[in-house]
Amino acid sequence: MRMKTTFDIPDKTLEEAIRFAGARTKRAAVLTALEEFNRRHRMAHLAKSFGTCRQMMTMQELHKQRAKG
């Protein structure tokens, strides 16, 4: 689904977004910013849902596992 929307974005903010995104158009810069925003929130949700790295194997445990095999 597409949604056509009109809104005002401060020039400086949009210029920075275009530069940081390496975008050729305003539309591309806004899409890149929204995609990055969504990606970061998906990653944060995954991290919250699945815990932290503390639940993973330590380097010592990994070395022991490799030595056994």
How far apart, in Å, are the Cα atoms of 13 and each of 7, 31, 50? 13, 14, 35
> Quick check: 69 pLDDT over 90?
no
Sign, CA dihedral 15-20-26-32, equals negative
Q: What proportion of the chain, given as a percentage, has pLDDT over 70? A: 93
Instruction: Output the pTM of the full model.
Output: 0.66
43-62: pLDDT as tens digits? 988 878 776 666 677 888 88
Confidence at 9, pLDDT banded by 50, 70, 90:
very high
Q: How far apart are the first and last CA of the chain?
A: 51
